[in-house]
Chains A and B, each alone.
Chain A
Amino acid sequence: MKTGLVLLVFVTNVLMASGAMAQTLLLKNARLVTMSEMGIVDAGSMLVKDGVIEEVSTRIEVSADIAVIDLKNQFVTPGLIDSASQLGLIDVNNFASKTDNQVKGLALGAGFSPVMAINRYSSMISMVRNEGITRAHIKPVPGSSIFAGQGAMIHLVDKGQFVTDKFQAVHVYLRESDKTLAGGSRAAALAEVIDSLQEANRYRQNPADFRKAKGREFRQSEADLISLASVLDRGVPLVVHVDRAADIENMLSALGSFELKIYLAGAREAWKVKALLADLRIPVIINVLDNLPSRFDRLGARLDNAALLVEAGVTVAFMTDDLTRNTRNLTQGAGVAVAYGLSWQEAMKAITVSPASLWGLENTGRLVPGFAADLVVWDGDPLEVTSSPVRMMIGGSWIELRGRQELLRDRYSDLHDGKVPFGYR
């Protein structure tokens, strides 16, 4: 009896410590953006149990002991997914001691993983999360090599598994500004990619060779070779950061025989080769807002890149791609894509369903039974710049929407009454 009580207390504590995971909760009277064939369900109800969506319908009856929240027909969307970010690697950019997004001077390229540098407790995390973002693909940027390293998936939970997939992709950069890392010519950069893949292929076929030769006959480190072997196995995609239409064509032509899974990122001129991309089923990850012809390989940058690609049948996902300044503006980019011809539904897909599919996230990105209860309640249309999350649930737990910025705001919201110094407010 006594043991039973202790056990009960113990179990209760564990459950409380893990938030509302074990709760069953009914969200009713919500405008559910299900991202499924149900579309938007007005005055909808959703039953959440143990962090999983159990039922979605216009009417759900529950017993009196189940907690019910009336959302007054506010929008509810799945948690949003940023398809390329450096969140957690940078607290403040513009000074190197605070950044962990690249390696320089080491013989490490495709094998570099930034995962062990991710700071899940950075106040940046809650700042970005408060914009409705619950997951992000974290990418390294090139340091000494055009191969920047491995991308990872983070889940912006307070507790539990933060890095949910340590190795999701290899990032290679073939933009105009990257070619100096490969001898100064685009052709040399592409040759380096081919050579690296061929070497990885040799390694893959007989890893013992590498050990016998103590790596002497190999240009790359074993970490790089292992990483690229996964690309060759189609275990992870090769994410190619490239902008110019001709560079996209040449890269696809040069790498065709490897039969890799290729994603494009950046891809400011992708719209020019949209038919080719649709034919080869190559998805494109874009930062909608960046439409400047800021380099010669971006002269074709335009705000309707997404609309043109989707119209041609290309899968599109959105990224913020910024160090810190615009990391929070995922929805603004999606909204602008709508202003420039993309449908609202397709814009929502590019920050929910499509990234979930591209990054292999199971049961994520829709509000349907069996999917994870990562959800955002908004005070307006989620893609509007005037809208903001009012509640967010991640992994079944409501999270705190007050972060460092809100504390600053509250400290200085009233400048009168100088009796108490601001440091005590």
Chain B
Amino acid sequence: MRTLFPLSILLLLTYIGIVRAADDAYPSTYRVAVEADTVIEGVTLFTGTGTVMENAWLKVGGGRIEALGKGPAPVMDGHVIRIDGSGKWLSPGLIDVHSHLGDYPSPGYSPHSDGNEATSPVTAEVWAEHSVWPQDPQFPLALAGGVTTLQVLPGSANLFGGRSVVLKNVSSRTVQGMKFPGAPYGLKMACGENPKRVYGKKGGPATRMGNFAGYRAAWIDAREYQQKWLRYRDELATWQAQSAPASGANAVSQEAPAGEENASKAKKEPVEPKRDLQMETLVGVLEGHIKVHNHCYRADEMAQIIDLSKEFGYTVTAFHHAVEAYKIADLLAENNICSAMWADWTRFKLESFDGIKENIALVANAGACAIVHSDSALGIQRLNQEAAKALAAGRRMGLAVSEAEAIVWITLNAAKALGVDDETGSLEVGKMADMVLWNGDPFSVYSRAEKVFIDGTIVFDLERDLKPVTDFELGHRVREI
């Protein structure tokens, strides 16, 4: 397939530079508020990489994890806040790869409904961040459940729903103040029932085959757009090379002397093609710096999406709502695609009919990347319990899964799918100190997040009743009559 697009690596790199400038148009303004150094000791520590350390300690400095180990914490210089973690559990901050917080906030009235640009089956041009309401009271509820990072996606009405945004779950007046610094963008795509249902009587697609025709047409357009820009870059480079020596100091002047022997070659400066936001996002996928998050329930549809991605030369990062992933776990492992799943949702729509509780454990057991996601303002508050249910179901059928492995489903694997695993998702030296101190085993229904750290700062504390209160909540949520 790649032979269809014989592109010079040099031109490719130049091209990426231009498109990525647009990616920085709404930059993150999030700044780490560095508190005093902190050490947590005597704690049971899930690293997020598949292991658990009993009676461990972890030191935070400058918002990052500086050191960790087993046994008593070493003597430390300077002012260090010491937190007794005995009888408690420490895990990486939880990450939800599928959320609509801010885009479908509470209260959920139509003036607040900003998650689905259901006006056309292809709306790759919309960006979820432009809908996020930072005062959504659901953000603090998710924080109480230990969620420190989340991906907000456009809804699934469209074949191409638009760009996602990765947020830190911090209190901010602006969405820019929540944006995860350096996180890549995602593209939301959707299989199956939803696009069919929404557009079936509005010009289509009305069928699953119509869905696929729509995906393919859009990718063909994206390839054309990509070629157009590559041609432009090529022509511009040629023009610059030709005009620079001929006109001396004024290299960009179009008033090149005429009448010389190369006059016929002295073309005008090529005109920059008009930007197309929809195509920019799709080309970002083709160039590999925007990740594809594909809502897809059924095994047979996922298999066809894999072929679609090969036809057009891109990769799928994760299938979301992959209710039937267990049926093709081998295929998903082979293609290195993550599955983001619920622990037990089923039968709420026909394409979810074959959901089983062992799905997540079976996918993990096949060596594929398994993630527990929520797609719910309720579920995001209890990702640890959902992982616990999935773990228990796997064990019950005889799969060897540990708690330390199951925590990866809601931490490091999620970070990988979002492209932020260099920074968060596990408790390793050098990473952001995004962590949850649980008052009990996080796989127990009775346990709660006691302290939540984001970049080393305690942003939620059960003991001190410290939590962000959104503007919306002020004045009417706490009073008894």
Contact = CB atoms under 8 A, between A and B. Distances in A.
Interface of A: 91-95, 124, 127, 245, 249, 271-274, 289-296, 298-300, 323-325, 328-329, 332, 335-336, 338-339, 379, 383-388, 405-406, 408-409, 412-413, 415-416, 422
B419 interface: no
Contact of A412 (B327, B346, B347, B444): B327
B141 A292 contact: yes
B362 interface: yes
B348 A385 contact: no
The 4 closest A-B pairs by CB, nearest first: A335-B445, A386-B392, A94-B349, A324-B347
A406 B358 CA distance: 9
B350 A296 contact: no
Interface of B: 106-109, 137-138, 141, 326-330, 344-350, 352-358, 362, 366, 377-378, 381-382, 385, 388-389, 391-393, 396-397, 443-448, 472-473, 476-477, 479-481
Say what secondary structure dominates the interface of chain A: loop
Contact of B350 (A95, A299, A409, A416): A95
A289 B374 CA distance: 14
Nearest to A94: B349
B347 A93 contact: yes
A422 B362 CA distance: 16
Say what secondary structure dominates the interface of chain B: loop
27 contacts: A92-B348, A93-B349, A94-B348, A272-B481, A289-B382, A290-B378, A292-B138, A292-B141, A292-B377, A295-B108, A295-B109, A298-B107, A299-B476, A300-B476, A323-B348, A324-B346, A324-B348, A339-B447, A385-B445, A386-B392, A386-B444, A388-B392, A388-B393, A405-B356, A405-B357, A409-B356, A413-B397
A339 B446 contact: yes
Contacts of B348: 92-94, 323-325
B443 A386 contact: yes
Nearest to B475: A299
B325 to A, nearest CB: 10
A408 B362 CA distance: 12
A289 B355 CA distance: 21
B334 to A, nearest CB: 11
Contacts of B392: 385-388
Contacts of B355: 405
Contacts of B391: 386
Contacts of A379: 396
A383 B445 contact: yes
A408 B448 contact: no
Given A94-B349, A332-B445, 10 more contacts: A293-B477, A298-B107, A299-B107, A329-B344, A335-B445, A336-B445, A384-B445, A409-B326, A412-B326, A415-B330
Contact of B473 (A92, A293, A335): A293
A79 B348 CA distance: 25
B480 A272 contact: yes
B481 A273 contact: yes
A300 B329 CA distance: 43
Given A92-B353, A385-B385, A388-B392, A415 B366 contact: yes
